[in-house]
Amino acid sequence: MADRPSFFKIMHSAVVRERKLVSLVKKFVNKFGQNISDTSVLNVRNGTAWNIELKKVDGAIWFQNGLLDFLEYHSIRAGHFLVFQYDGLLSDGKSQFNVLIFDVCGVEVGHRCICNNCEEQSNGRTCREPNGGVGENSANVQSFSPSEAVNSWQSDVAVKDAISFESKNPYFISVMKSSYVNHNFMNMPVDFVRKHLSGGLPNIKLQVPDGRSWEVGCSSYMTQIRISKGWTAFMRGVNLQKGDTCVFELIDAAVDLVMEVHIFPATNKLEKL
């Protein structure tokens, strides 16, 4: 897949509660602003597409009419992070963006699921939501301060690499936050579990491309489903670090559950565009 220019936005409570507008990242505007039209289409992995008007003021570009409906439909809350991939102009002249949504736990939500209830349940409401402001080129991979979140994602292109992953098999993306690498669990998207891992709390074989594998077990905590038993051994075996991004691909569900884990290490590169 061709490398698309992209940027990240963290949703501040002012956007969600006070209905303020969201601007495009300045660096992105400086590079591509002349090609951006007055209307955009936001495509989400669940198959929905949204027409959003854009407003240009003093060199800045803001998402305007239609954005709040988009946020409400996808149950986006303060602390959620949106990845915008610019995909050029459509034949009708509209600017096209592919949007990925991550909850406050750093887990992608809404992937291949149009059900509102699933999206609500996968928002990770048991996680503490940050109180900080809107960040650029940033994402909150745990319940820490916005400045820490900005620093984390500014030094990490792992997410950009992970979101280019494609497979015919079901999969989800998770960003490794501090609690995942320092403790013995990792949350999974509830909608993914309900759709693909039905039948209680299963044992799963996690394997990596070099052939090594680890048996892990799942547990429940409030509304979350976690990989818990065996997670620490897997994490240490593959040397997972805070900020690494993992794609968990379900490659076998016929008899035993097997997930191939594709790991995209965090880096210190700042370039996102």
- Position 157 scores a pLDDT of 57
Instruction: Please state whether the predicted TM-score (pTM) of the whole model is above 0.75.
Output: no
- Position 95 scores a pLDDT of 93
- Position 101 scores a pLDDT of 87
Percent of the chain with pLDDT over 70: 73
- Position 20 scores a pLDDT of 63
Domain 6-154: which CATH class?
Answer: mainly beta
Which H or E run contains 210? none
Alpha carbon distance 18, 119 (integer Å): 22
- Position 105 scores a pLDDT of 66
CATH architecture of 161-264: Beta Barrel (2.40)
- Position 151 scores a pLDDT of 40
Max avg pLDDT among 11-15, 194-198, 214-218, 221-225: 214-218
Between 16 and 80, residue with greater pLDDT: 80
Instruction: Read off the pLDDT of residues 137-147 as tens digits, 9 standing for 90 and up.
Output: 333 223 333 33
10-19, 48-57, 75-84: which has the minimum mean pLDDT? 10-19
Instruction: Read off the pLDDT of residues 84-99 as tens digits, 9 standing for 90 and up.
Output: 889 899 988 999 999 9
Alpha carbon distance 199, 128 (integer Å): 29
- Position 260 scores a pLDDT of 96
Give me Rg for the CA atoms of the chain: 18
* 50-to-19, 47, 74, 186, 232 alpha-carbon distances in Å: 18, 10, 11, 32, 41
Which H or E run contains 5? none
Instruction: Read off the pLDDT of residues 16-70 as tens digits, 9 standing for 90 and up.
Output: 665 666 888 888 898 888 889 999 999 987 778 899 999 988 889 998 888 888 8
Domain residue limits, the chain: 6-154, 161-264
Q: In what order do the strands lie in the sheet with 186-188?
A: 171-175, 245-252, 257-264, 203-207, 213-221, 224-227, 186-188
Do the domains 6-154 and 161-264 sit in the same CATH topology, yes or no?
Answer: yes
Specify the residue for token string 């990596």: 208
122-136, 204-218, 241-255: which has the minimum mean pLDDT? 122-136
Give the tokens for residue 94.
Answer: 């509209």
